[in-house]
């Protein structure tokens, strides 16, 4: 199929433009950098594990809460997980390293056909990796010990290839980790280079716009995988994770997101502070609070202006409100006879 693919493409030139070479250098760096981070993660959540458990698949090992998960697997008859049982962990670092070197070589070879070959090879690798991952999940989820302590007739424990799946009382969520995001971004950038150099997208974008898109994709690759996405509070539906009361007022609420991505919501800023105090071992990735001047609008706690005391009547009588603008904080401070308070003082209460 590949030999017939090349002649049908309208080539801008057989050589690669300087801007594409710069992007190729960035792609090469993404390949090598991905070896330093987990490629994939499977998160498990259950009532007995409110913070959840995580299995992280690196290029050369299995990481995360492996021992705890192996203990749970023993009860349901699943094989325990050990890095040495998977030959993939021995060869995957070399494959990713090869793609990194291949990409770097294309900068000097300076031929678009080589980049096309690189892209096709990487896509085929991604397909084979997905098939192998599915096979691995299937075997571990279906080949169960019939003499296990817990046997549910007809039940299999195969986690999803990607996305969410309920397994008894556990919710399993399978997603790319930081290293995987880097590889996906590398593939997208390679496709963008090929499309640009072969004029596949010239009709959709003018040249300046093509380069702008490449810059945008590249910049997003370094921040999208690690960001914490705020989850809006559903008034009169969500309950406070500390006091268990229904969250009805969109001016006093708060939210925290753990480093594993779990979201906890609160009807009062003081509830959030008390929850964090009682769960000091929970690693928080981000804090959000409702802007008192708006209706149910969450803002980063670190940038907010806080007021305490006076005539503030928050749901659980914490007496603290947050505002996104200093001007609003001064106005409400006078109106409510409240005094400014630092975020650090709130979270350490």
Q: Please give the backbone phi and psi of residue 100, each rounded to the nearest 5 degrees, phi first.
A: -65, -45
Residue 6 reports pLDDT greater than 60: no
Complete edge-to-edge strand list for the sheet that includes strand 40-46 = 62-64, 49-57, 40-46, 170-176, 163-167
- Residue 272 pLDDT level (bands cut at 50, 70, 90): very high
What's the pLDDT score for residue 165?
82
Average pLDDT over residues 135-152: 86
Summary mean pLDDT of the chain: 85
Q: Please check whether residue 284 is in contact with residue 258, taking contact to mean a CB–CB distance below 8 angstroms.
A: yes
User: Residue 323 and residue 306: Cα distance in Å, rounded?
Assistant: 6
Q: Where are the beta strands (DSSP E) in 127-229?
A: 163-167, 170-176
Sort 281 into a burial class: Cβ within 10 Å, 0-12 / 13-18 / 19+. Answer: exposed
Q: What's the distance, CA 270 to chain centroid?
A: 28
Q: Please check whether residue 177 is in contact with residue 163, taking contact to mean a CB–CB distance below 8 angstroms.
A: no
What's the pLDDT score for residue 62?
93
Cβ count near 307 (within 10 Å): 24
What's the pLDDT score for residue 131?
94
What's the pLDDT score for residue 88?
92
- Residue 60 pLDDT level (bands cut at 50, 70, 90): very high
The DSSP letter of residue 170 is: E
Q: What angle do CA 225, 229, 231 make, to 5 degrees?
A: 155
What's the pLDDT score for residue 211?
55
> In Å, how far are 73, 155, 323 from 285, measured between CA atoms?
29, 35, 21
- Residue 258 pLDDT level (bands cut at 50, 70, 90): confident
Name which of 148-157, 239-248, 260-269 the model is least confident about: 148-157
What's the pLDDT score for residue 225?
54
Most confident of 48-57, 161-170, 217-226, 292-301: 292-301
Name which of 45-49, 108-112, 305-309, 338-342 the model is least confident about: 45-49
Average pLDDT over residues 218-245: 74
Residue 29 reports pLDDT greater than 60: yes
Q: What is the DSSP string of 5-47?
A: HTTTS--S-SSPPHHHHHHHHHHHHHHHHHTTS-SEEEEEEET
Name which of 22-26, 43-47, 131-135 the model is least confident about: 43-47
User: Residue 45 and residue 50: Cα distance in Å, rounded?
Assistant: 7
For the record, the structure tokens of 203 come out as: 């009709």
Residue 5 reports pLDDT greater than 50: no
Task: Say whether pTM exceeds 0.75.
Answer: no
Residue 275 reports pLDDT greater than 70: yes
Q: Please check whether residue 263 is in contact with residue 310, taking contact to mean a CB–CB distance below 8 angstroms.
A: no
* Nearest partner of 231 among 198, 196, 205, 266, judged by Cα: 266
What's the pLDDT score for residue 90?
94
For the record, the structure tokens of 218 come out as: 């590249």
- Residue 214 pLDDT level (bands cut at 50, 70, 90): low
User: Residue 265 and residue 235: Cα distance in Å, rounded?
Assistant: 11
Residue 244 reports pLDDT greater than 70: yes
What's the pLDDT score for residue 154?
78
């Amino acid at each position: 199929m590949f030999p017939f693919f090349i002649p049908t493409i309208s080539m801008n030139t057989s050589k690669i433009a300087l801007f594409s070479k710069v992007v190729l250098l960035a792609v090469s760096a993404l390949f090598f950098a991905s070896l330093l981070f987990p490629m994939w993660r499977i998160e498990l959540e259950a009532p007995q594990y409110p913070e959840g458990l995580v299995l992280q698949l690196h290029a050369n090992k299995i990481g995360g809460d492996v021992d705890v998960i192996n203990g749970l697997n023993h009860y349901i008859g699943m094989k325990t997980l050990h890095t040495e049982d998977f030959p993939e962990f021995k060869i995957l670092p070399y494959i990713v390293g090869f793609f990194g070197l291949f990409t770097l070589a294309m900068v000097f070879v300076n031929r678009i056909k080589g980049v096309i070959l690189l892209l096709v090879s990487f896509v085929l690798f991604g397909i084979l990796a997905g098939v192998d991952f599915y096979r691995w999940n299937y075997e571990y989820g279906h080949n169960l010990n019939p003499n296990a302590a817990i046997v549910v007739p007809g039940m299999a424990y195969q986690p999803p290839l990607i996305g969410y799946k309920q397994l008894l009382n556990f919710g399993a969520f399978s997603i790319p980790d930081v290293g995987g995001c880097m590889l996906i971004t590398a593939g997208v950038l390679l496709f963008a280079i090929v499309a640009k150099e072969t004029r596949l997208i010239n009709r959709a974008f003018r040249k300046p716009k093509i380069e702008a898109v490449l810059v945008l994709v590249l910049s997003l690759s370094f921040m999208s995988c690690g960001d914490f996405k705020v989850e809006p509070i559903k008034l009169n539906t969500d309950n406070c994770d500390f006091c268990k009361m229904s969250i009805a007022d969109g001016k006093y609420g708060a939210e925290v997101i753990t480093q594993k991505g779990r979201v906890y919501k609160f009807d009062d800023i003081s509830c959030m502070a008390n929850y964090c105090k009682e769960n000091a071992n929970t690693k928080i990735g981000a804090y959000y609070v409702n802007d008192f001047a708006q209706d149910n609008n969450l803002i980063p706690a670190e940038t907010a202006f806080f007021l305490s005391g006076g005539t503030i009547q928050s749901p659980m009588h914490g007496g603290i409100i947050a505002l996104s603008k200093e001007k609003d904080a001064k106005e409400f401070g006078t109106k409510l006879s409240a005094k400014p308070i630092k975020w650090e003082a709130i979270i350490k209460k």
